[in-house]
Amino acid sequence: MLTQNNKQAKHTNIRNALAFLLLGAVAFGSSAQSVDQSDGDWIKLFNGQNLDNWQVKFTGQPLGINYRDTFRVEDGLLTVSYENWDGFNNEFGHLFYDQVFSHYLLRVEYRFIGEQVNQGPGWAYRNNGMMLHSQDPGTMTVPQEFPVSIESQLLGGNGSDPRTNLNVCTPGTNMVIRGELITQHCTDSSSGTFHGDQWVTVELEVRGSESLTHRINGEIVFELEDIQLDSTDADAQALIANGSDIILKEGYVAIQAESHPTQFRAIELLPLTKTE
């Protein structure tokens, strides 16, 4: 026969056991969900072998001309190379993936290498970028320098001075931060500086026109809202005149060639479910 104390102890042990099982089930479910979210249905935009499914556009060149063989694959790395350049004269290049995306998580592993090409602009030192919600490259004019897009800047330090990474620039676009419309071209993030030729992994979470979140090593360094075309910009005006909505809900993904050699070992995208 159980005494009152024994009954209470038994009930306590049962409750503890049930709680342990419940926590284990929750933990198992969370782990499974995390694996599914991080590893399921990723699209490798760069396949590690060639530039299939990518389109090139350089300032001063028609679509499809890989000027001076700048974009190439070397040793399994997507490389922005200036080996064939003697000097730079604002021939900005962009490499576009040939599919439109709206809601997604973009993961990029990159590093800067070597020296900037001669006559490269000072601001373009160790400077590349992911152009998001970009216009169709086929709608760019021959002399156009940058596609209308929202740019997540990839930036490296000079070895001594501070320089934030994953800043945002807005060629032909505007954004909202904490309720304020931002019309200046570039806005700094809150990140630290990444000196040298180290590999850096960044994540860009895009939710249509509603929001864009920048993360480096899992830390949020920039958040913005309400991505939209800039009606005062000539390139954006041309898109609006051809029927584009001012609210920028989707577009192409592109990387840049802005005068500094860059390598990418991973560019992968996870489509996200739209939330109403």
The residue ranges of every structural domain in the chain are 1-40, 43-271
The arithmetic mean of pLDDT across residues 22-42, rounded, is 39
Instruction: State residue 77's pLDDT score.
Output: 98
Core vs surface per residue 82-95: b (16+ CB within 10 A) or e: beebeebeebbbbb
| CATH code of the region 43-271 | 2.60.120.560
Q: Would the pLDDT of 36 be above 70? A: no
The arithmetic mean of pLDDT across residues 110-130, rounded, is 98
Mean pLDDT over each residue of the chain, to the nearest integer: 89
pTM confidence score: 0.85
The arithmetic mean of pLDDT across residues 232-256, rounded, is 98
Beta-bridge partner residues of 127: 155
* 250 close to 133: Cβ distance less than 8 angstroms: yes
* Residue 24 or residue 110, greater confidence: 110
Instruction: State residue 3's pLDDT score.
Output: 41
Instruction: State residue 275's pLDDT score.
Output: 72
* 182 close to 143: Cβ distance less than 8 angstroms: no
The arithmetic mean of pLDDT across residues 174-178, rounded, is 98
The arithmetic mean of pLDDT across residues 194-202, rounded, is 98
The arithmetic mean of pLDDT across residues 81-103, rounded, is 98
Neighbours of 218 (CB within 10 A): 7
Instruction: State residue 274's pLDDT score.
Output: 84
Instruction: State residue 276's pLDDT score.
Output: 56
* Residue 213 or residue 38, greater confidence: 213
The pLDDT tens digits of the residues spanning 210-222 come to 999 999 999 999 9
Q: Which helix (H) or strand (E) holds 11?
A: helix 4-39
User: Which has the minimum average pLDDT: 39-48, 73-82, 159-168?
Assistant: 39-48
Q: Would the pLDDT of 40 be above 90? A: no
Beta-carbon contacts of 16 under 8 Å, excluding residues fewer than 6 positions away, are: none
Beta-carbon contacts of 237 under 8 Å, excluding residues fewer than 6 positions away, are: 231
